[in-house]
C-alpha cells in the first residue's frame, strides 16, 4: 500500500514539474529577439516590386471609404496616411529634443523649430501625387532636421539584423542608428501620401507602396534618410551584418539600403570623414553559419571599403552581442553553457557560493523518484 502511495505522489510531482517547464518554454518563445526587421509599412523594400497584376483587387466597400476621411473622430484602420500625422510628428519632435535628448540643457543653438520642420515635410508631400516623388523631394526637410549634426564614432548601420542592432544601440544610449536621429524618429512607423483631389491634401484611405514606373518614389523618404545619415557619420563606424541567412542570401548584398545608400555615401575627406569601418558579423543561435569574416560577400565588402580608402575590421560575434542574442533565445544549444556559467557567477555574487550544485541535487532527486515510481509500478 505504501509503495502505491509513493508512486502516485511521484507521478503527480513529475506531472507538475513537466507542466511548469512547458509554460516556461512557451513564455520564452513569445519574447524572441529577431535578426530580421519587423514589418514596417512605411519603408518600401529596394527589391523588385510586386507586379501590379499580382495585386488583389480592392474590396467594394473600400471604394466608398475613399470619399470620407478615416480621421473624422472614429478611427478606421486603413492603408492610408496615419491619422494625426501632423500632431504625431510635431509631438515627437518636442519629445525628442526636450525629453529624450534634453537639448535644452546642452546645445541651445542646435534646437530645431518643430513647426517649421513639419512644414518643410508637409510642403514636400501635401497635394502631391505619391508616384511623382523622387530622391530630392524631402531634401529641405533633411537639411533642416539634420543641419549641424555629426555622429562621431557612434554611428551604427545594419543589414538583416534589425532587432539585435536596436537592442544593442539602446535608443541612442550606446550607438546611434538612423532611427535615433530627429529626422527619422519623427517619421518612423508612420504612413503618408499626398493626394491632389482630397481636401486635406493627404490620402487617408490608401497609399501606394510601389509605383510601377518610378521606383524612386518608394525610396524618396527612407532612401534619402539613409543617404543623409551615412553622410553624417564620422570617425569609426559600425555595421552589424547577418552571417546566418537562409537560402544562401549573403551577409552583404547588392540592392540593400546599406549597399545602395549608405556605403557609397560615407565621407572620405574633411574633418568629419569616416576613418574605419568595423563589421560585426552575427550568427544566430540555432541557425547554420553561412559566412564568416574573410569569406564570400565579406571579401567583396572588404575590397569595396579598402578601395574607398577606409580602414577595415571584421569581428565574428562580439561577446556583448552573443549575450543579447542568447538573452531571449537561451534555450538554444549554443546558449546553454553561457547560461550555466552566468548562473554560477550570479549565485556567487548573491550568496558567496554557487547554488548550481544544489540545483543539480534536486534534479537528481526528481530522477530518482521517477525511477522508483517506474520500479514500483512494474512490480505491483
- Residue numbers of the site for ligand N1C (CB under 6 A)? 37, 40, 43, 45, 157-160, 162, 178-179, 226, 229, 256-258, 262
Q: For residue 157, which of 245, 262, 252, 242 has the smallest C-alpha distance?
A: 262
* Structural contact between residues 201 and 127, judged by C-beta atoms closer than 8 angstroms: yes
Q: d(Cα 32, Cα 329) in Å, to the nearest integer?
A: 6
Tallying the residues shown for the chain, one arrives at: 380
- Of 206 and 256, the one with the shorter C-beta distance to ligand N1C is 256
Q: d(Cα 46, Cα 49) in Å, to the nearest integer?
A: 8
- Of 215 and 343, the one with the shorter C-beta distance to ligand N1C is 215
What minimum distance in Å lies between the beta carbon of 212 and ligand N1C? 18
- Of 43 and 126, the one with the shorter C-beta distance to ligand N1C is 43
What minimum distance in Å lies between the beta carbon of 251 and ligand N1C? 10
Angle between helices 336-351 and 319-327 (to 10 degrees): 90
- Of 160 and 243, the one with the shorter C-beta distance to ligand N1C is 160
Alpha helices by DSSP H, 54-109: 60-65, 85-94
What minimum distance in Å lies between the beta carbon of 152 and ligand N1C? 17
Q: For residue 37, which of 167, 156, 138 has the smallest C-alpha distance?
A: 167
Q: Which residues, 6 or more positions from 28, have their beta carbon under 8 angstroms from its beta carbon?
A: 328, 330, 331
- Of 302 and 373, the one with the shorter C-beta distance to ligand N1C is 302
- Of 96 and 229, the one with the shorter C-beta distance to ligand N1C is 229
- Of 36 and 139, the one with the shorter C-beta distance to ligand N1C is 36
- Of 256 and 329, the one with the shorter C-beta distance to ligand N1C is 256
Pairing of strands 156-159, 151-152: unpaired
What minimum distance in Å lies between the beta carbon of 364 and ligand N1C? 46
230 torsion bin: left (phi>0), alpha (psi -120 to 50), beta (else): alpha
What minimum distance in Å lies between the beta carbon of 37 and ligand N1C? 4
E-assigned strand segments in 156-295: 156-159, 233-242, 274-282
What minimum distance in Å lies between the beta carbon of 104 and ligand N1C? 27
What minimum distance in Å lies between the beta carbon of 196 and ligand N1C? 27
- Of 7 and 226, the one with the shorter C-beta distance to ligand N1C is 226
What minimum distance in Å lies between the beta carbon of 230 and ligand N1C? 8
What minimum distance in Å lies between the beta carbon of 160 and ligand N1C? 4
Task: Measure Cα distances from 125 to 67, 132, 133 in Å.
Answer: 20, 10, 8
Q: d(Cα 136, Cα 120) in Å, to the nearest integer?
A: 13
- The C-alpha cell at 44 is 518600401
- C-alpha count within 13 angstroms, C-beta hemisphere, residue 62: 13
Amino acid at each position: 500500500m505504501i509503495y502505491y502511495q509513493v508512486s502516485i505522489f511521484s507521478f503527480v510531482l513529475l506531472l507538475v514539474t513537466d507542466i511548469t517547464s512547458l509554460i516556461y518554454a512557451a513564455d520564452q518563445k513569445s519574447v524572441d529577439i529577431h535578426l530580421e526587421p519587423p514589418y514596417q509599412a512605411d519603408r518600401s523594400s529596394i527589391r523588385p516590386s510586386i507586379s501590379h497584376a499580382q495585386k488583389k483587387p480592392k474590396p467594394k466597400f473600400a471604394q466608398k471609404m475613399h470619399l470620407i476621411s478615416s480621421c473624422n473622430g472614429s478611427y478606421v484602420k486603413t492603408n492610408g496616411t496615419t491619422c494625426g500625422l501632423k500632431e504625431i510628428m510635431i509631438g515627437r519632435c518636442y519629445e525628442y529634443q526636450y525629453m529624450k535628448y534634453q537639448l535644452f540643457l546642452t546645445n541651445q543653438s542646435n534646437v530645431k523649430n518643430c513647426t517649421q520642420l513639419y512644414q518643410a515635410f508637409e510642403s514636400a508631400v501635401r497635394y502631391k501625387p505619391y508616384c511623382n516623388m523622387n530622391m530630392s523631394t524631402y531634401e529641405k526637410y533633411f537639411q533642416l532636421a539634420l543641419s549641424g549634426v555629426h555622429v562621431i564614432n557612434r554611428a551604427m548601420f545594419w543589414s538583416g539584423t534589425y532587432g539585435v542592432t536596436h537592442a544593442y544601440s539602446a535608443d541612442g544610449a550606446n550607438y546611434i542608428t538612423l532611427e535615433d536621429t530627429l529626422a527619422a524618429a519623427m517619421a518612423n512607423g508612420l504612413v503618408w501620401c499626398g493626394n491632389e483631389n482630397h481636401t486635406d491634401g493627404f490620402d487617408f484611405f490608401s497609399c501606394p507602396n510601389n509605383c510601377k514606373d518610378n521606383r524612386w518614389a518608394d525610396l524618396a523618404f527612407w532612401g534619402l534618410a539613409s543617404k543623409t545619415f551615412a553622410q553624417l557619420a564620422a570617425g569609426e563606424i559600425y555595421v552589424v551584418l547577418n552571417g546566418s541567412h537562409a537560402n544562401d542570401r549573403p551577409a552583404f548584398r547588392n540592392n540593400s539600403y546599406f549597399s545602395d545608400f549608405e556605403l557609397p555615401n560615407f565621407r572620405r575627406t574633411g574633418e568629419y570623414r569616416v576613418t574605419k569601418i568595423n563589421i560585426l558579423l552575427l550568427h544566430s543561435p540555432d541557425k547554420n553559419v553561412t559566412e564568416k569574416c574573410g569569406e564570400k560577400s565579406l571579401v567583396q565588402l572588404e575590397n569595396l571599403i579598402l578601395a574607398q580608402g577606409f580602414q577595415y575590421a571584421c569581428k565574428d560575434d562580439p561577446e556583448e552581442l552573443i549575450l543579447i542574442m542568447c538573452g531571449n533565445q537561451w534555450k538554444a544549444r549554443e546558449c546553454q553553457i553561457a547560461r550555466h556559467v552566468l548562473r554560477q557567477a550570479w549565485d556567487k555574487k548573491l550568496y558567496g557560493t554557487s547554488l548550481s550544485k544544489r540545483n543539480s541535487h534536486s534534479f537528481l532527486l526528481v530522477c530518482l523518484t521517477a525511477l522508483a515510481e517506474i520500479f514500483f509500478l512494474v512490480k505491483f
